[in-house]
């Protein structure tokens, strides 16, 4: 069974790469959600004029990975934001009431994140990011690996 869930945990490039590497994630797509502007552009989101955050839409094969396991990866990936920019805020957008209930319970089970703001919403609109933002680590892996070796 395939389900859709949307997560935001900072820049969508890294979030998409991290979740895309998990067994059971059958599709990822970088995009925007959580704001008030329809069809936002990256430039508009960066300018702060849309209210949207960078997010990743995940299509999850629940016969391979459970939503609870997926949420475990989400919580492990969060760090206190060094940049308070709302474009990088943490969020989970659920596709159904069962996902919402599980996400809320999962958040409560994370005592280390008690003061961490994570928006957990039901069925908000998702707007795909521009093509050049899709699968960035896969497209430009050599460039990222060279940069990592220098640092």
The class of domain 2-150 in CATH terms is alpha beta
| Residues labelled as active-site residues | 11
Whether the pTM exceeds 0.85: the reply is yes
Cα 27 from Cα 29, distance rounded (Å): 7
Q: Where are the domains of the chain?
A: 2-150
pLDDT tens, the chain, 151 aa long: 999 999 999 888 888 989 999 999 999 999 999 999 999 989 999 899 999 999 999 999 999 999 999 999 999 988 765 556 888 999 999 999 999 999 999 999 988 777 788 999 999 999 998 666 667 666 666 555 544 444 3
Cα 137 from Cα 78, distance rounded (Å): 19
Measured in degrees and rounded to the nearest 5, phi and psi for residue 89 equal: -70, 155
């Amino acid at each position: 069974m395939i389900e859709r869930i949307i997560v935001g945990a900072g820049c969508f490039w890294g979030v998409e790469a991290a979740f895309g590497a998990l067994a059971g994630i059958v599709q990822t797509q970088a995009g925007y959600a959580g704001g008030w502007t329809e069809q936002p552009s990256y430039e508009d989101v960066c300018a702060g004029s849309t209210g949207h955050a960078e997010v990743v839409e995940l299509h999850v094969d629940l016969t391979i990975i459970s939503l609870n396991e997926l949420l475990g990866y989400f919580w492990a990936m969060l760090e206190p934001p060094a940049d308070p920019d709302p474009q990088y805020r943490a969020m989970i957008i659920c596709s159904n009431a069962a996902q919402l209930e599980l996400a809320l319970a999962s958040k409560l089970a994370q005592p280390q994140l008690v003061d961490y703001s994570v928006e957990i919403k039901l069925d908000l609109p998702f707007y795909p990011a521009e093509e050049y933002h899709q699968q960035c680590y896969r497209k430009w892996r050599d460039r990222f690996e060279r940069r990592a070796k220098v640092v």
